[in-house]
Chain A
Amino acid sequence: MTQNVQSIAPVNGEKTDRDIAGQEYLAFTLGKEEYGIDILKVQEIRGYETVTRIANAPDFIKGVVNLRGIIVPIVDMRIKFNLGEPTYDQFTVVIILNVAGRVVGMVVDSVSDVTTLSPEQIKPAPEMGTALNTDYLIGLGTIDQRMLILVDIDKLMSSAEMGLIDKIAA
């Protein structure tokens, strides 16, 4: 899967300037909104499989799965941000992320493509208007008619809000 994703990338990526990190974004949808995350944070994309529920965990943490011997928690972004209907079928997609040295799975409605955004295509995020706190946004990317909400996935996944990482003080 990872290979597939990367093979799409060069189509738009000829003029990629590697000096600025995160030029290529993986676009996915949550409900009607389209989001983008840094492609380098994505380890692979998988279908949804049965998870093992974790007792007393928040709703959006669906549980853990076995990813080739590694226990990986699965977060459903649709529940977390109240976007779309959380249905689980053979089309449900899990993006396996590699953030902050951890492996985390993220359930989204669908994955569309990988696009390259130049710095001028990225506009600052508005103060309000998305389900996500603006702290976690890099900006808004525009490609023709599409608008990608670019998420700083590192920051989001390691935030206390997600509760994926033990707080040091706790």
Chain B
Amino acid sequence: MTIDMSQFFQVFFDETEELLAEMEKLLLAIDVSAPDEEELNAIFRAAHSIKGGAGTFGLTDLTDVTHVLESLLDKIRKGEMALSAEHVDAFLVAKDVLKMQLDGHRLQTPVDQEAVVDARMLLQSLSQGDMPQAMPAASLDVAPKVEAPAPVPIAGSARRFRIELPKVTDRDVEALMAELGLLGQISKEALADGRTAFTLDCTGDSEEIVAICSFILDPKDLQITEQAPARQMTAAEAKAAQEEAQGYGFFDPIEPTAEQSAAEKAAKEAAQGYGFFDNFETHEMKETKAAGLAQVPAQQAPVPSAHEPSTPHPVEKKAAPKREAAGGAHNSETTSIRVGIEKVDQLINLVGELVITQAMIEQRTNTLDPMIHERLLNSVSQLTRNTRDLQEAVMSIRMIPMDYVFSRFPRMVRDLASKLGKRIEFVTHGAATELDKGLIERIVDPLTHLVRNSIDHGIEMPEVRKAAGKSETGRLSLSAGHQGGNIVIEVTDDGGGLNREKILAKAKSQGLPVSDSMPDGDVWQLIFAPGFSTAEVVTDVSGRGVGMDVVKRNITAMGGNVDIRSAKGFGTTISISLPLTLAILDGMSIKVGEEIYILPLGYVVESLQPDPADVKEITGQGRVVKVRGEYLPLIPLYKMFGIEPRFTDPSQGIVVILESDGKKAALFIDDLVGQQQVVVKNLESNYRKVAGISGATILGDGGVSLIIDVAALLRSSRQLSADESIFS
């Protein structure tokens, strides 16, 4: 029987990546002076889960690193060693190494073996940190592994288990011994009451042993205890050795026979208080179970060598931590499943259809006599409610908390700040705010750029800040929250703020139309102009990566806009406002002739019926309409789209004032129909891009209505001549 392991590999890779991200998040959040025990446990669990998974898949390089990491973590969480900033740094380095190794397995990217060895040595030397002169021991400790990593499993991240069997026949004992022997070195001893005990040195964990034994025995009758791993022992011995100044000759038997080492172990335990390794595994497992992290044992269940019928089942369980990692609720019991995004989209589509059908039924029943059809009408109104609930529930599937984005910043801020020699306190607000998955993925890059900018150019060096009377530590905050139908994401720093004069001077030198009396808001928008690097303007440090114009373009493409507030000396806030989802749009339906179009409500400022005297003709330029003292270009939709209108005189129809990119225009239409939420459908999936149209939607009657691309319409209105459709 062969099992296709590749699918499990993928799950393992995904999950390990999540665990690493989770670990990093926890490490960055931890308070070094007073670490929370629960947080330490969570970090430990993450490391342990990775080790378990990697061991299962035979990725020994990952297990090697995680094992040292785990040992050190274990000491800290048990209070044997105080957490220090060096530890956190070392853990972060280890995390990067693990990520590199993971990518090495997954994407075949090169792995820097030196970095791996360095990280391991660093961790090992730290784990003997209670004696600073431990370096020789550490190097000795590493040496045998580097020289002979492969042939004997014991050299790697060996662990020692004592397995006490219940009464079984000799034949079974022999069979078990042969099976377990595949895992590592095994030895047998007979116990007084006729039972048998094995001592096993292997790289796996007790789950594997249980899995193997369960072919012959009831796992309940089995007693497995983990004993001090051989390598830990050598470290302990090294300590003893140094203390006793007896030289290193003592180390020759690196692989002592099981009995010997057990005896030695017992002796050491008694002498040096390493007893905490006893029952290590079982104790730890109890703890994880109590914490509700069922995936830890689940991960360890599949055994490569075993013909394990239950192998597919860990996949189901493994799907669980996704949400947890995203939601940051590591303790609460969360269950989730991984589902392909196309399935969700299909569901959303179908529900959209249902809503339309429901609207149709509602429309048809409206004409019925409420007295005669009371029961039918009641049912229909119930259907309406249920459909709305269903739609809301389905739409929420695509929503992901902003934490998904925010969580990647603490590390970046930390690294960048230390590189630049700045001190920055990073805070986030509203990480639970939910946003459409499609938008979340596209907001990451612009946001990264803005955060980088704030650190690079916004927040000043500590001495500058001190001189300005501010605290030396700069404050950078990321926040997200709902405002009306939008989500607003803000990047705020308390740095130097933008320099109005420099921006204006730069704009002038680039030939942009600026004047000294421009309002601040307009001046700040200049930094979004292409080729207008904030670096050159504000600080003279050169920028990197995408420019602010790309940030602006990306956000505009998502239907959002960017706003800057800045005060010199007090900092800058860049505020991004995005629609909640791309799939649903608040629209205003309008009518021209017999055709109905949708205007995205976000662009609509107001609608009015102009006075005939306010409509003026400008030769060769079309008409303008005067609204509150402002002359706005009049865009007759019937001309743009070649429709036979009911009215050609704006004072008989309606003009809708639209605003996009700070430019206003008056769209002349026949009538307003109503306001509704519409499901945006792509026109390009089966047709092609149509100028002036951004998409389509399905109306309550099942017909199709086109959504007007207001931004394009306003852009083109400037080239509009009186009797020519610009799109033809």
Binding site for B on A (CB under 8 A): 50-57, 63-66, 68-73, 102-104, 163-166
Of all chain B residues, the one with the shortest Cβ separation from A52 is B704
Q: B589 to chain A: closest CB distance in Å?
A: 13
Residues of B within 8 A of A103 (CB): 686
Bound Cα distance from A63 to B597, whole angstroms: 14
Does B313 have its Cβ within 8 Å of any Cβ on chain A? Answer: no
Q: B703 to chain A: closest CB distance in Å?
A: 6
Does B352 have its Cβ within 8 Å of any Cβ on chain A? Answer: yes
Pick the contact of B686 from A54, A70, A163 — CB < 8 Å? A70
Does B681 have its Cβ within 8 Å of any Cβ on chain A? Answer: yes
Within 8 A of A (CB), among B695-728: 696, 698, 702-706, 725, 727-728
Binding site for A on B (CB under 8 A): 349-350, 352-353, 356, 595, 640-643, 681-693, 696, 698, 702-706, 725, 727-728
Contact indicator A69/B350 (Cβ below 8 Å): yes
21 A–B contacts, CB within 8 A, in A order = A53-B595, A54-B690, A55-B641, A55-B690, A55-B692, A55-B706, A56-B641, A64-B706, A66-B703, A68-B353, A69-B353, A70-B681, A71-B682, A71-B698, A71-B704, A72-B686, A73-B687, A102-B685, A163-B688, A165-B688, A166-B688
Q: B342 to chain A: closest CB distance in Å?
A: 14
Of all chain B residues, the one with the shortest Cβ separation from A103 is B686
Of all chain A residues, the one with the shortest Cβ separation from B681 is A71
Bound Cα distance from A56 to B691, whole angstroms: 9
Q: B202 to chain A: closest CB distance in Å?
A: 52
Residues of A within 8 A of B690 (CB): 54-57
Bound Cα distance from A88 to B350, whole angstroms: 30
Contact indicator B728/A56 (Cβ below 8 Å): yes
Contact indicator B684/A166 (Cβ below 8 Å): yes
Contact indicator B683/A52 (Cβ below 8 Å): no
Of all chain A residues, the one with the shortest Cβ separation from B692 is A55
Bound Cα distance from A163 to B705, whole angstroms: 21
Main secondary structure of the interface of B (DSSP, over half): loop
Tally the A-B contacts, defined by beta carbons under 8 Å. 76
Closest 8 CB pairs of A and B: A55-B641, A52-B704, A73-B687, A166-B688, A56-B727, A69-B353, A102-B686, A71-B696
Of all chain A residues, the one with the shortest Cβ separation from B725 is A56
Residues of B within 8 A of A69 (CB): 349-350, 352-353, 356, 681, 698
Contact indicator A71/B685 (Cβ below 8 Å): yes
Residues of A within 8 A of B353 (CB): 68-69
Q: B698 to chain A: closest CB distance in Å?
A: 5
Q: A75 to chain B: closest CB distance in Å?
A: 10
Of all chain B residues, the one with the shortest Cβ separation from A61 is B687
Q: B635 to chain A: closest CB distance in Å?
A: 13
Residues of B within 8 A of A57 (CB): 690
Residues of A within 8 A of B696 (CB): 52, 64, 71
Residues of B within 8 A of A64 (CB): 683, 687, 696, 704, 706
Residues of B within 8 A of A65 (CB): 704
Bound Cα distance from A64 to B688, whole angstroms: 11
Q: B676 to chain A: closest CB distance in Å?
A: 16
Residues of A within 8 A of B681 (CB): 69-71
Bound Cα distance from A141 to B595, whole angstroms: 43
Residues of B within 8 A of A73 (CB): 686-687
Q: A13 to chain B: closest CB distance in Å?
A: 30
- Given A56-B642, A64-B683, 14 more A-B residue pairs with CB atoms under 8 Å apart are A52-B704, A53-B595, A55-B642, A56-B641, A56-B728, A66-B698, A66-B703, A66-B704, A68-B353, A69-B356, A72-B686, A103-B686, A163-B688, A165-B688
Bound Cα distance from A68 to B696, whole angstroms: 14
Q: B557 to chain A: closest CB distance in Å?
A: 17
Residues of B within 8 A of A52 (CB): 595, 696, 703-706
Residues of A within 8 A of B683 (CB): 64, 71
Residues of A within 8 A of B705 (CB): 52
Q: B462 to chain A: closest CB distance in Å?
A: 53
Contact indicator B685/A55 (Cβ below 8 Å): no
